[in-house]
Structures are given as structure tokens and as C-alpha cells.
Amino acid sequence: MENFIAWNFNKNKAVLLVIDMQNDFVKEGAIMEVPMARRNLPNMKKILDSCRQHHIPVIFTTHVLFDEYEVSPLEVAYQPWLKKEGMRSGTLGVQVVDELKPLPSEITIQKHRYDAFYNTQLETIIRNIRGAGIVDTVIITGTVTNVCCESTARSAFMRDFKVVFVGDACGGFDDASHQATLTVIDKVFGRVMSTEELIQQIEKN
């Protein structure tokens, strides 16, 4: 079973997902600060640049809450400080960090659950962004590794998408949960690659 690879990566059938790399997660002192996301930001930028260079479509997600009502009530119940602030629609905190700023032609999907597929247009966009039925692989980068990134990876797998999960281009709250997610993804839900390995795969195809 060692070195077994269930499928090969084809850049011409892939899209890049940049999950929730917004100011309220990445900036120092932010309400939902994830230092690992900030630390791995250079790797995310390398992947973003490579995908753009090789015409791999890029889709961003942002996690959005509202002042008017609790659009994600159980999330807020577990994290009560979000009742008053954080990831609010229309604020700077919900915007993607400048280092990864979406191009005007790139799509940003707002979501209200950890799983980026849940009640969003993500699946429809992925299945058509390169032409109907062409995309079969999603590359996942961003934050939080064991929350939104993992939830989205599992959901992609359930929809029969191949998952490339870039271990050093995701950011977790801590090393233990980050590594646990990488172990689970690599065994069951996808292929864990490093930034260097993914870029090599992109450049050789």
C-alpha cells in the first residue's frame, strides 16, 4: 500500500480554492487570528501565482456573518465573542488579504457555514468554470485547516471531486489539529501535497 496513488493530477482539469484568507483570520491581533495562516501565506501566494500563470481558475471564499441576525447560530454559540463583531458583511475584516487579492475576473463566494459548498454556488461554478464537466480536481489552500478547509475537502470528495490538500499552504489553530487533518485527508479524502510538489506537478503537465 505504500506509495499508492489513486489518481494523477491534471492541471487542465483543476481549480484552486482559496478558503477564507480574509483579514479577520490573517492579520495580527484579528478577532479570529490564525498565526499559521499568516505564516503560510507566502506558500499560498506561490500557488496562486503559479495557477494564474498556468490558467488554472481561482475561486476565493469568505466567511460572512451579519449584525442584523445570527446567520450561523451554532457557530456563534460555540464562539460567543462573534455575537458582537467579526467577519461582518461590508467590513474590512471580511475582505481577502491584500497579498492574495482577487483579480477582477476571479470569483469570490460568500458562505455562512464551514463547508464552502453548503448553500452556495460553488459546485455549479466548479462544474462549469472551464466548460461543462471539465473540472474534476479541487486544490485546497487557506484557513482554518481543520474547520473550513477540511469541511470543504470532505464535501468535495462526496461530490466526486479529486482533492489536493496543500499541507503547507493551509493554516490551522494549532499544529496538532493541523496535522490530524492532513493525516485524515491523505488516508481517505484526497492527496496531501506540499507547495513545492504541487507547483512541480503544475509545471510538468
Ordered by where they begin, the domains of the chain are: 11-204 (3.40.50.850)
Judged against a pLDDT cut of 70, whether residue 3 lies above it is answered with no
N residues, the chain: 205
Q: Could you read off the pLDDT of 84-103 as tens digits, one per residue?
A: 999 999 999 999 999 999 99
Percent over 70 (pLDDT), the chain:
98
Q: 88 forms bridges with which residues in the sheet? A: 65
H/E element, 168: strand 162-171
Strands 137-143, 107-111: pairing kind: unpaired
CB 130 within 8 A of CB 2: no
Which pTM was predicted? 0.96
Q: Could you read off the pLDDT of 35-74 as tens digits, one per residue?
A: 999 999 999 999 999 999 999 999 999 999 999 999 999 9
